[in-house]
A and B are shown apart, each in its own frame.
Chain A
Amino acid sequence: MKTILAMVRKELIDAMRDKRSVMAGLYYAIGTPLLMCGMFMVLIGQLSSPEDLSIKITNGNNAPDLVRFLNNRGINASTDEGVVAKDVKDIELIISDEYAAQMAKAKPAEITLIADNSNEKLQQSIRRVEQQLQAYSSEMGSLRLIARGINPVVVQPIKVIVEDQATPDSKGGFILGIAIFTMIYSVFISGMNLAIDTSAGERERNSLALLLSHPISTRQLVLGKIIAVTSFALLGLLLILIVSKIAYTFVPWQELGFSVNISPDFMGLMLFIGTPLAIMAATLQLFVSFMAKSFKEAQSYLTIVLFVPAALSIAASYNIAPDVLEWLPVSGQQQALMAFIKGREIPMLQLLVSSSATLVLSIALALGLEKLLKSEKVVFGL
């Protein structure tokens, strides 16, 4: 045990020596939440319909009551002579010249709505205009019935009472899915440089053979390296949790109708669930790096290998994910975390299976590593 601790200390000191490259791994943990928050702030501004929506209304004089109605709901005509509003959305309403005559006869009065519905920036605004036109139309329909001595409820035969089971937290589920993905990914990214440096790097510096010549077993050496890399991965995870907790509170989520809250409970659970993942990430990365012949080759392989957990994690953040993902490493943990944050019951069995699979995989890889290091081909990179 003492030997292992000495090994770990040696690895960590080694890692600290090349501060720049190792810290680069941790920059991910600090930078990603900040970048995401920045991105969401911009996106929220782009996607939400502005409080005062300016659109083009042609022939507004044909329907002054409608124009005032829209105006009262924040949809303003921009093209009234003289006043040119700043941010006019590319949405146009054309009131037909027959509007008043059609109205007077209770014939459907025509209004043309021109807009590009595939333009994401406009979709919400278009929907808002449609809704308000519908509201105006419904109101007028109701009043026409009243004028004929009929209660407007008769044209609403069914009243649908919706009981939405979403909780405030689950409404932000999509965002949280991405946030959890970045956190899980941090486990893989943060230790990566150290994993390469301590394996392929050590070999290139010719210090691996020297190390092996010391009176320690291969197993102790492997464990020492795994623990060192794992602790870096967990450090990265801890960092990203702390930075996320602080940064996410600055995003105006409420404009999207929900809130995103990284609670201390969630942080604890994430660290707990993340530990097996960090061990697996460390062993996997060490294994792959030792397989590679050179430092550069190791980097290339790892980049490819990293794609696997990323793909699992991303797939699991969509509801359409096949059920089998619940049982696999990475995606299983991701889904358990999402269930927790959405206030649902955590699928304990699946979490247990996926976490066990993670640990089994780690042990298998560690044993593989041990075997690898007994081969001269690997030790000398032949």
Chain B
Amino acid sequence: MNIGKVMLQGTYNKVSKPSLLARKSKLISAIQVGLLSVLSFSAMADDTEINSAPLSSCYVDGLSEQVQCGSLLVAENPAKPDGKKIAVHYAVLPAIKPSFKTQAMLAIAGGPGQSAIENAAGFDRVLAKVRQDRDILLIDQRGTGQSNILACEDDNMSVLSFNDDDMDYVKDTQACLDKIDADVTQYGSLTALTDFEAIRQHLGYEKLHLYGVSYGTRMAQLYMREYPQALATVTLDGVVPMQQSVIAIGKAIDRGYALLFKDCQQNSLCGEQFPTLEQDFTTVDNALAEAPIEAQVRDPQTNEVASFLLTRGKFNGAIRMALYMPNIRSLLPHAIHQASQGNYQPVLGIYALTSDSTGIAMGMHASVVCAEDIHRVTDAIREQAKDSYMGRTMIEGLEATCSVWNMPQVDSSFSDAIESDIPTLLLSGELDPATPPSWGDMATEKLTNAKHFTSAFATHGVAYQSCGNDLIADLVKTGSLDNVDGECLEKDVRRSFYLNANTVEVIQASAEEE
């Protein structure tokens, strides 16, 4: 009876916290794993200032079994090896039957800013077959999780009543930056990659198999570029190609909306129940663009009387987050339609669910995006984003953030396509509101030994929602793509849309009620 977990299978970061929230944080959003879960490491996992014993037993959130944890002290700034040190924590989910002791599967979380270790249960499920004979290695990338996290939490704000339009990103970001005790310029992807490689050597793995999801695919691609000799296979799930700035995501989001409307329209039940879905959305969106709606509600969690201010940003943010998760996505037509009728309860429910978690370390997120993505936003992209509410607000928010979060730009070669002959499996979800299949195609440009499959029914994080996990297991097992075919991805696993607050099945005429 794990309701919270069950429903979130297939999820990611949330909309949330005010400041970065409704706009910035949603950037890419990582993947799956229990939204509702809170990190709970055993005490053992914490005290690690020494590098001598690489691993000790520990428990990670969501897994009842003992796993192995450890940390490696590295220089915060690799150019100053004698300067400040930070501990980069990692966890090893040991192979059930360790037949390949010199190999491990490194699973890289998304965000940017998610903790891989906090998401251990999700990785364990998706990579269960790989784990039968290989260790799963999870590393909290520097700036996330337990590895000197760069968090920008603001617990004083009421999620329900705050007005995201009034937010001063520059001020909030400055406050966060002042609070953080770290050289934030050292928390970009390339520096973090040197930690990954150091941990590989520290633990004595000769070859790694990579599984990167969402932003994790960028880390995986950089690994392919910098240390190809250390890799056996690579899987990119929800691909962010090097050539692509993650900030230019507005189009992908709009595409996600359009697919939702189309899906519902083409589905006889949904189309009949909500014939004017797109119009309903536009009605609400336009009304909110004029002025936010304030409603007296019960707090979704505490049941206290609360004031809910529904803004355009929150409304769109909730829908965007729901699009990541196939099960919650199925509630959207009902929620949008109800909102157009003046009932904001379903939207409130979705908003509360997607805003109550703090899965992303926003400081680390800013370090990555401000060094690697913001300078790639061209006037053309800005122009294009003008038509898209989500795209526009996201760029504005991040530009404000990066004006404070001063990061040196990465070299222009950072954005070059990856050239490699490492067997590489790319997975995209047709319904993905963040990394559309076209991004996956872009990433294959110079990959000579790659296959790209698109699941027609998956959103973000294909392996969590389909047989993609089996494809990964095949790839790892054989070390080649020869026998990997995407046929099983064609299995119809779509979820039916909710037709009212209760059912996804036909509502008989006699039972009709709306």
A interface residues with partner B (beta carbon < 8 Å): 62-65, 68-69, 71-72, 99-101, 103-106, 134-135, 138-156, 161-168, 252-255, 257-259
Contacts and interface: CB of A to CB of B under 8 A. Distances in A.
B350 interface: yes
B4 interface: yes
A68 B40 CA distance: 34
Interface centre among A69, A134, A146 (most CB of B within 10 A): A146
B493 interface: yes
B7 interface: yes
Interface stretch (B189-197, B231-239, B295-303): B295-303
Contacts of A71: 491-493
B349 A151 contact: yes
Given A142-B4, A149-B349, A152-B4, 18 more contacts: A68-B496, A71-B491, A103-B504, A104-B511, A106-B503, A138-B1, A139-B3, A139-B6, A139-B9, A146-B349, A151-B353, A154-B303, A163-B59, A164-B65, A167-B66, A254-B133, A255-B132, A259-B97
A148 B345 contact: yes
A103 B353 contact: no
B301 A105 contact: no
B502 A139 contact: no
Given A72-B466, A138-B6, A151 B502 contact: no
A253 B349 CA distance: 45
B368 interface: no
A259 B6 contact: no
B174 interface: no
Interface of B: 1-4, 6-7, 9, 36, 40, 42, 59, 61, 64-66, 94, 96-98, 132-133, 297-298, 300-301, 303, 327-328, 330-331, 334-335, 344-346, 348-350, 352-353, 356, 465-466, 491-496, 498-508, 510-511, 513
Given A105-B511, A156-B1, A149 B346 contact: yes
| In the A-B complex, the 8 residue pairs with the closest CB atoms | A149-B345, A146-B349, A162-B64, A142-B7, A103-B503, A100-B505, A147-B501, A254-B97
B495 to A, nearest CB: 6
B65 A135 contact: no
Given A254-B97, A254-B133, A148 B501 contact: yes
17 contacts: A63-B505, A65-B495, A68-B494, A68-B495, A100-B506, A105-B502, A138-B6, A141-B3, A143-B498, A146-B350, A147-B331, A151-B349, A151-B352, A152-B7, A154-B301, A164-B64, A166-B65
B498 A104 contact: no
A143 B64 contact: no
A143 B97 contact: no
Nearest to B36: A153
A15 to B, nearest CB: 40
A148 B345 CA distance: 6
Given A68-B495, A69-B495, A168-B96, A156 B508 contact: no
Contact of A150 (B349, B492, B498, B508): B349
Contact of A143 (B301, B331, B513): B331
Contacts of B466: 72
Contact of A254 (B96, B344, B349): B96
Contacts of A105: 502, 511
B508 A101 contact: yes
Contact of A72 (B42, B301, B335, B491): B491
B420 to A, nearest CB: 31
A168 B97 CA distance: 9
Contacts of B495: 65, 68-69
